[in-house]
Amino acid sequence: MDQLFEIARKTFDTPEFRGITFIESEAKSIINRVPGGALPFDWTINPYRGCSHACVYCFARPTHTYLDMNAGRDFENKIVVKVNAPEVLRRELAARRWKGEHIAMGTGTDPYQRAEGRYRLMRGIIEALIDHRNPFSILTKGTLILRDLDLLVRAAEVAPVSAAFSIGTLDERVWRETEPGTPHPKARMDAVRTLTDAGIPTGILMAPILPGISDRPDQLREVVGAAIDAGATHVSPIMLHLRPGVREEFLPWLEQEHPDLVERYLQMYRQPYGPKAMRESLGERISSMVSAAGGIRRGVEPARRFFRRDRSPGVKAQASEQLRLL
């Protein structure tokens, strides 16, 4: 885990930042190694900790407890900003020990959450990666990524670059109640089209799919069809998982918003990842829907998908479920 040194706390009296405290910190390092080798990447960068997207199911919530803050409101309203991230990255990319390996971003909290509109760390980060011709990928729910389209196009000219959007539903009600701080999912789908039209391979993670809430066939089919229409390079479903720390935040929300589902979830989630048969069935259903809708567009090489290593869809989804914020 990176070492952080707090230098200031700031609030801004603008509607999008009201109620949020930004904890400006300096990081000693910014490229973090992913332990264990179970994930489809070995290195990651997370310029922010905590996330104003406020997704009720976010797997990264427990990481805020490492900073002596809670996984609930603190995670949403106390955002750690690594203000020196671009400078530290340049130093690390220039080090002899760095071998130019693929770097995944967005593996913890979203690098294009609202804070990025003010701090603009990602432009400096991408510029550093361009200068060192370093391959990278970005996972986000933030349409703010389009601000950096010029840099992404430049980056793709010198190294393998890809992106993916997390879009678990296009249902208006489900979106509003589960992801209150995110851009509209249809705006995210439009962003997929913009990126793919610009030559940036961009896929969809249908993540997470919530049993009894966003898993009706018509809901799933709507996302798959829109993804294909947007030119997505892949569609990978991920069923909700409830690790310790997330479970304690999610279940009270479920009891308030969907009390009829509480008993079902308690039975399903005796373990964090839910029944294996359900996860496998979900993957098969999405694969069938993709095929029925005409499949992913031709001409996209599997090696240029968001996930760097060549894995089957089921393995990729399971690896995605194990993402950790470093």
- Percent over 90 (pLDDT), the chain: 84
pLDDT in tens, 192-201: 999 999 999 9
Confidence of residue 320 (pLDDT cuts 50, 70, 90): very low
For residue 125, the 8-state DSSP code is H
Token pair listed for 325? 């914020």
> What's the pLDDT score for residue 286?
96
> What's the pLDDT score for residue 7?
96
For residue 96, the 8-state DSSP code is T
Residue 108 has, within 13 A of its CA and on its CB side, a CA count of: 27
pLDDT in tens, 133-182: 999 999 999 999 999 999 999 999 999 999 999 999 999 999 999 999 99
Q: Is the model's pLDDT at 302 over the cut of 80?
A: no
The closest of 83, 99, 107, 104 to 27, measured between CA atoms, is 83
Q: Mean pLDDT score of the chain, rounded to an integer?
A: 90
The Cα 10–Cα 278 span in angstroms is 45
> What's the pLDDT score for residue 34?
87
Confidence of residue 301 (pLDDT cuts 50, 70, 90): very low
Q: Among 12-21, 36-45, 98-107, where is mean pLDDT lowest?
A: 36-45
User: What order of strands is seen across the sheet that includes strand 32-33?
Assistant: 32-33, 43-45, 103-105, 136-140, 161-166, 202-209, 235-239
Confidence of residue 322 (pLDDT cuts 50, 70, 90): very low
> What's the pLDDT score for residue 3?
74
Confidence of residue 294 (pLDDT cuts 50, 70, 90): confident
The partner residues of 22 in beta bridges, in order of sequence, read: 10, 79
Confidence of residue 41 (pLDDT cuts 50, 70, 90): confident
Question: Percentage helix, strand, coil, to 5, in the chain?
Answer: 40, 15, 40
The closest of 210, 246, 223 to 325, measured between CA atoms, is 246
> What's the pLDDT score for residue 33?
93
The Cα 233–Cα 231 span in angstroms is 6
Q: How many other β-carbons are positioned within 10 Å of the β-carbon of residue 26?
A: 15
The closest of 274, 296, 288, 99 to 203, measured between CA atoms, is 296
Rounded to two decimals, the pTM is 0.90
> What's the pLDDT score for residue 326?
29
Token pair listed for 224? 């798959």
> What's the pLDDT score for residue 133?
98
Confidence of residue 296 (pLDDT cuts 50, 70, 90): confident
The partner residues of 166 in beta bridges, in order of sequence, read: 205
Q: Is the model's pLDDT at 281 over the cut of 60?
A: yes
The Cα 278–Cα 95 span in angstroms is 46
- Mean pLDDT score, 197-210: 97
pLDDT in tens, 59-102: 999 999 989 999 999 999 999 999 999 999 999 999 999 999 99
> What's the pLDDT score for residue 297?
56
Residue 167 CA, chain-centre distance (Å), reads 10
Q: Which residue has the higher pLDDT, 318 or 232?
A: 232
Q: Is the model's pLDDT at 288 over the cut of 60?
A: yes
Q: Is the model's pLDDT at 324 over the cut of 60?
A: no
Which domains, and CATH codes, for the chain? Answer: 4-321 (3.20.20.70)
Token pair listed for 274? 């839910």
In 3-state terms, what secondary structure has residue 56? coil
The closest of 166, 144, 181 to 321, measured between CA atoms, is 166
pLDDT in tens, 17-38: 999 999 999 999 999 998 876 6
Q: Is the model's pLDDT at 299 over the cut of 50?
A: no
- Mean pLDDT score, 239-248: 95
49 with 27: CB under 8 angstroms? no
